[in-house]
Chain A
């Protein structure tokens, strides 16, 4: 298994500002992902964080809005830029380990006012 921590655990931000969320894993992992759960919605994949190269974004998500860094195999950040109330969500970091498992961090609960 993998132990994942995220910072901050929650935040309240003003519209127009940006927030960077950090994800730290206790072991080296190849696959690292960022998800979002908006109120009343499913968990939705934002992007796959690739070590040493640009993240791979899912349809509907763009780098300018959600820049991601992955400097090594144990750490990643997700920035939510120029926030609006629609960005109020739970943001989760997740890692995949072979052959099948995928684990999640505790999430960052973001409220944009």
Chain B
């Protein structure tokens, strides 16, 4: 059973603070890593799909990095806003193709106070 760990489990920050979360996963047989943002009563929203060691991706104030050799990814949020409040999920996929399954971490729940 693959073990995916996310830390911290929850985070409370003030508006304007920058923050980051960690996702660690088994490095062997890696295919891709997905980051999602999940707000209550909505679909999990795909943020990034990362495949290459050293990948860095950016979407507005949110960015992510990937280290496939050591099996971790960081998600950064610059200048947090109340609308960033959500649970952030990472999910690696292992195997040789996109037919492998996503294994989810428990998520990091972010609360941004105005």
Interface of A is mostly: strand
Comparing B13-21, B44-52, B58-66, B75-83, the segment that makes contact with chain A is: B44-52
Interface of B is mostly: loop
Interface residues on A, range: 20 to 34
CB distance from A8 to the nearest CB of B (A): 13
- Knowing A104-B44, A105-B43, the reply to whether A42 touches B106 (Cβ < 8 A) is yes
Pick the contact of A42 from B32, B51, B99, B104 — CB < 8 Å?
Answer: B104
| Known interface pairs A43-B89, A45-B102, A103-B46; 11 further A-B residue pairs with C-beta atoms within 8 A, sorted by A's residue number | A4-B43, A42-B106, A43-B91, A92-B44, A100-B32, A100-B93, A101-B49, A102-B34, A104-B43, A105-B43, A106-B42
Give B residues with C-beta under 8 Å from A: 4, 32, 34, 36, 41-44, 46, 49, 51, 89, 91, 93, 98-99, 101-107
